[in-house]
Amino acid sequence: MDEVEEISGIFNGSCNFILSKMEEGYSFKDALEKAQDLGFAEADPKDDIEGYDSMRKLRIAASILFRKEIKEEDIDLEGITKIKKDHVK
């Protein structure tokens, strides 16, 4: 049986957009506002930027992949709200 070593991918387009804009020099706040203006982020982006949306998608993928229930509390969660421009340089 093959052994899975990692799961990776873009689980949240809003966060991906924000982090990409921050790589271009935007502040977190400005990148979030741009994402909202363009319709990539919701008016209340909490589930996206706090990591809940990504965590839930990862939970579904891991549960299918490992053929067992993965609980939300078993996944470490950290959103992107504390990331600054210096972090993405």
Determine whether 68 is an active site residue: no
Q: Would 33 be classed as within a structural domain?
A: yes
H-state helical runs in 1-89:
13-23, 28-37, 46-49, 52-66, 85-88
Q: How many domains does the chain have?
A: 1
Residue 22 lies in a domain: yes
Please pick, among 29, 46, 57, 84, the residue that the annotation labels catalytic. 57
Determine, yes or no, domain membership for 24. Answer: yes
Structural domain range at position 19: 13-78
What is the domain-level CATH number for residue 60?
3.30.360.10
34 is a domain residue: yes
pTM: 0.85
Sequential pLDDT tens for the chain (89 residues): 678 788 788 999 999 999 999 999 999 999 999 999 999 999 999 999 999 999 999 999 989 988 999 999 999 999 999 998 888 87
